[in-house]
Every structure is written in C-alpha cells, then in structure tokens.
Amino acid sequence: MKKDRKQAEAAAGPSPEEVEAASAPKRPQDDVLSDLAALHQQFDDESISFEDFEAAKGLLMAQLAVE
C-alpha cells in the first residue's frame, strides 16, 4: 500500500536526489515556477515518466527561495 511504501522510504533515509536537492542553489521564484510549468506540460504530454517528473519536481522545488 501507499502508506507502507512511504514509511519504508522514510526509514531508508534521504535519497541521492533529496540530498542533491537540499544543496541546490536558490533561484528567483518566477524562474522556478516557469520551469515547473514546463515540467508539468512535459508530463501532461507524456514526454516523461511519473518517476522522472517527481524527481525533477523535487529538484525544482528545492530551488525555491522560501522567505
């Protein structure tokens, strides 16, 4: 089940993508949101898999500067 998978992932610690995302440089919000919109379009067009979409989305979200 989804809940079990999430718990297993949490117990395994951060993935390499999560570690990379944590150290990603911050970018202007408008730039990141534009990239996110383009990423969503690629997913909607079925140009990328769900797994690739989620990985790329995580990297982009880590670049948002939260104030």
Distance CA 42, CA 33 (A): 14
Contact 33, 63 (CB under 8 A): no
User: Mean pLDDT, to the nearest integer, of 18-40?
Assistant: 81
* pLDDT surpasses 80 at 34: yes
pLDDT tens, position by position, 1-11: 666 666 666 66
> Sign of the CA dihedral 14, 10, 2, 62?
negative
Which amino acid is present at 65? A
Structure tokens at 62: 């880590």
Domain positions in the chain are 2-62
What is the separation, in whole angstroms, between the first and last Cα of the chain?
36
Q: What is the pTM of this model?
A: 0.61
Taking each helix axis from N to C end, the angle separating 50-62 and 29-44, rounded to the nearest 10 degrees, works out to 180
